[in-house]
Amino acid sequence: MSESAMQNEFINEPKSVYLKDYQVPAYLIDKVDLEFDLNEDHTLVKSYLRVRHNRLSASKVKDLVLNGVELVLESIKINGNLLSNAQFQVTDQWLMVHNVPDNFDLEITTRIYPQKNTALSGLYRSTNTYCTQCEAEGFRRITYFVDRPDILSCYTVKIAAEESRFPYLLSNGNLIDSGKLENGKHWVKWEDPFKKPCYLFALVAGDFDVIEDKFITQSNREIKLLIYVEKGYGSQAYHAMYALKEAMRWDEKAYGREYDLDTYMIVAIGDFNMGAMENKGLNIFNTKYVLAKPEIATDTDYMHILSVIGHEYFHNWSGNRVTCRDWFQLSLKEGLTIFRDQTFSEDILSRAVMRIQEVNGLREVQFSEDAGPLAHAVRPDSYIEINNFYTSTIYNKGAEILRMLQTILGKAMFRKGMDLYFARHDGQAVTIEDYIKAMEDVSGADLRQFRLWYSQAGTPVLHVEEDYDAEQKIYRLIINQHTPSTSGQSIKKPLYIPIRMGFFDEQGNEIPLQINNEPVENEKVLHLTAASQIFQFDNVLVRPVPSLLRHFSAPVKLNFAYSDDDLKFLFKHDKDSFNRWEAGQKYTLRMFMNLIQDYRHHRPLHLPYELVEMYEYILRHDTSDDFLLAEMLSLPSEHYIGEQMETIDIDAIHAVREFVVTEIAKQLQKLFLETYYQNHDSSETYQFNIQAIGKRQLKNRCLTYLMLLPEYADVGMQQFESSLEKNMTDTQSALVGLANIDSPLREKALNRFYTVWKHDALVVDKWFAIQAASKLSDMLREVKKLMQHEAFDIKNPNKVYSLIGTFGQRNLINFHADNGEGYAFLREVVNQLDKLNPQVASRMVKPLTTWKRYDNKRQQLMREQLELLLQDKKISKDLYELVIKSLGEG
């Protein structure tokens, strides 16, 4: 059956929503009073809505349409009068109330079943806790409502539940009243004085350990800080509290933003689709971004918690106080807040290393997204299911756009623009145009061309050529930009691209720059605005080595004919730490491509000594920044190498990369071992600071290389045993190495790890992920076996992400086995997930959607699995959209 025939077979084919069709809401809801009666087998929800006709609406329709999914309507009243069946109409998606007045009070009672809610959207039960997730469209699963972000309302919320089981009843805003009820129940009432969209509504009911602290704002207000975690886990919440206070302090200093309520609450939940949710005053987090102590969390976990805690706090202004008019503007809050949390992490930790990690993620995920069938603009023109657009393009590319804007305007002017944006639009639901207009108004800049970044999909490619006139002492850079065509966008316009750059002489000294014979700073920003542009530099006495796109000043691909010597020179001498790392990556990538050609032609593989010499040089000379040095020693991933190829050659990439890392380990083993022991002290107490993190990262990078050689397996086992129950960073690093060795030590370590940590869900997630990523053969059989393990629960997103997600996205050689068994396995799991949790299913299917990038045999095998998914007439619209678009039918 063809894709089009299958599409026609799809019952109630999902419809696209278009940006061009936006209309202001016909009715506004100024006040929302909610009452929840939480019972064991159901929950009763009463909503009291103050509704009025929107004078800005041109609609003459007198019917009010409210969204509602999986709700049981008990009653509906207008101005206290019960409506007859003739006065309204109900479907499985909406409630229509006929012939409503211009101003009225609407009272609706619904019955819902949180304990049956496996989608984890709306109100649901996570073990013994009630919680909500309303972004993007979960509120319609709680009560009938006009579920769109431009409906801003003031909320009061009353919650009643059994006190012994649910002593904590939480919602947005400030607690204003409480009391006791019959039958062992109690109630509380919360009031949020700030208008908000319904996607920011939150409710939590349960029993917790509570960590309490306070923060004194810049205006000397005392804010109560509360973190709620599962009973017995209170000791793991102190790092999250530290992160919160650092974020509050940083936002006051960097943006002048002060917290506005009296209390700030965080709740950690084990069953959560996302990382965290910024509900006003009551953030709900996935436990993995709250819980940490040295024996169960790695350095990476600690850093992620710092970032995500900051991200959700920063949303209080960039997302809550000023929100988005419609979901097409999603990057207005997410891209901006990602940029804010990235710069926060750079300031607290390491500007260089955080930037390297940000760019690695962008290139491996977002660049791949831009190059595939699911490519979309930062502000897309349409969608079928909005949950599918919580993507790296919306978040990370959106953040890069803001970083470019700051580079173009300068930090001081950018800050003034942010101040005006918050002041002008406080309490409003706005658009990307509103944001850019604030920047134009403070700076006087014309940003019309810059706005194309929001509407044009794809990753721009810069082709740069140089021309040096030794006689005239003139150096020119000729830069051409081109953005490849993407689905629905074959013609691309030139973008406004800022390029940070500098020059070096042969001794590694920066060359002073002159343009039009006028001196400029040693680091210059070139403003590329045309398809082709020439930049001339005067009085350049020798041919310089250019350092281009410093600190990755734009999300582009840069092609410049650097010689091998130029790249080695920049790797050793560039003053921009990111570009030092980048030079090493470019050199190594070039070497990989040459070796892949040798592998394809069955020629023997030889590792260039120059690469070994580069690594030896930095190990001996770069002793001031261990954290950066650890990153400098990293090689491009298999995924990123594949992204450089027209047709991804899984087998060649894996064979060549394994050869390279093993040869580096052999040739530098003495130096790796020396560096390892210089930084290893098993008795050292864990500390979270940049110096201690750097030592651990460098030590464990050396261990990763050493454990590729059989004679060092015992070193890894010793670190595993000495760090177990004390330092998860060291434990996990050793266990990853052991999991990739076909040795009795592997099984011994994995069994020991599980025995010690089987009662800690987050640590068990690591155990699943380490095995799922193992490059040993026959790992698909192991993954299938692990799905039957007592600790695996397909209804828990973290378990799915750690086992299935890791196998499909990080274990390329096993997932892409040319017998197609990995593809069939993923399709079966996705089918199962789609019946339980469509959001998770649509995330897990992503590895199949890039099928066109592989060889003909794999293409056919992957395509077959996508077609089988589409044959399911009950496929969710989340999954349907990704499958149909990846097959080229959407």
Cα separation, 408 vs 755, in Å, equals: 54
- Average pLDDT of 739-753? 98
CB 886 within 8 A of CB 3: no
Q: At what angle do helices 877-886 and 856-870 cross, to 10 degrees?
A: 150
Q: What is the pLDDT of residues 42-78, one digit of tens each?
A: 999 999 999 999 999 999 889 999 999 999 999 999 9
Q: What is the pLDDT of residues 620-664, one digit of tens each?
A: 998 899 999 999 999 999 999 999 999 999 999 999 999 999 999
pLDDT at 774 over 50: yes
Describe the strand order of the beta sheet including 545-548 as a list of residue ranges: 524-528, 497-504, 545-548
Cα–Cα distance list, 326 to 172, 283, 319, 437 (Å): 22, 22, 12, 18
Confidence class for position 12, pLDDT limits 50, 70, 90: low
H/E stretch holding 808: helix 806-810
pLDDT at site 7:
37
pLDDT at site 320:
98
Please say whether the dihedral angle defined by the alpha carbons of residues 148, 149, 155 and 160, taken in this order, is positive or negative.
positive
pLDDT at site 5:
38
What one-character DSSP code corresponds to residue 550? G
pLDDT at site 10:
38
- Average pLDDT of 508-523? 80
- Average pLDDT of 573-580? 96
pLDDT at site 520:
73
Q: What is the pLDDT of residues 199-211, one digit of tens each?
A: 999 999 999 999 9
pTM, to two decimals = 0.97
CB 236 within 8 A of CB 761: no
- Average pLDDT of 274-286? 98
Residues 6+ apart with CB under 8 A from 613: none
Q: What is the pLDDT of residues 74-109, one digit of tens each?
A: 999 999 999 999 999 999 999 999 999 999 999 999
Q: What is the pLDDT of residues 484-499, one digit of tens each?
A: 999 999 999 999 999 9
The chain-wide mean pLDDT, for the chain, equals 96
pLDDT at site 1:
35
Q: pLDDT over 90 for what percent of the chain? A: 96
Cα–Cα distance list, 242 to 66, 281, 451 (Å): 42, 17, 37
H/E stretch holding 286: strand 282-286
Q: Which of 120, 425, 445 is nearest to 274 (CA)?
A: 120
- Average pLDDT of 733-746? 98
Tokens 């997932």 identify what position? Answer: 815
What is the secondary structure of 410-429 as a DSSP string?
A: -HHHHHHHHHHHHHHHTTEE
Query: Catalytic site residues?
Result: 312
Cα separation, 417 vs 408, in Å, equals: 13
Residues 6+ apart with CB under 8 A from 38: 130, 159, 160, 161, 162, 166, 205
Q: Which of 657, 669, 656 is nearest to 705 (CA)?
A: 669
Q: pLDDT over 70 for what percent of the chain? A: 98
pLDDT at site 176:
98
pLDDT at 580 over 90: yes
Q: Pinpoint the alpha helices (H) of 606-759.
A: 609-621, 626-632, 638-643, 650-667, 669-679, 690-706, 713-723, 728-739, 744-757
Cα–Cα distance list, 559 to 464, 466, 479, 876 (Å): 6, 12, 10, 42
CB-based burial label for 608 (10 Å; 0-12, 13-18, 19+): middle
- Average pLDDT of 9-22? 80
Confidence class for position 522, pLDDT limits 50, 70, 90: low
Cα separation, 326 vs 550, in Å, equals: 35
Q: What is the pLDDT of residues 698-728, one digit of tens each?
A: 999 999 999 999 999 999 999 999 999 999 9
Q: What is the pLDDT of residues 111-141, one digit of tens each?
A: 999 999 999 999 999 999 999 999 999 999 9
The 3-state DSSP class for residue 646 equals: coil
Torsion of CA 565, 567, 572, 576, to 10 degrees: 150
Tokens 């044959």 identify what position? Answer: 871
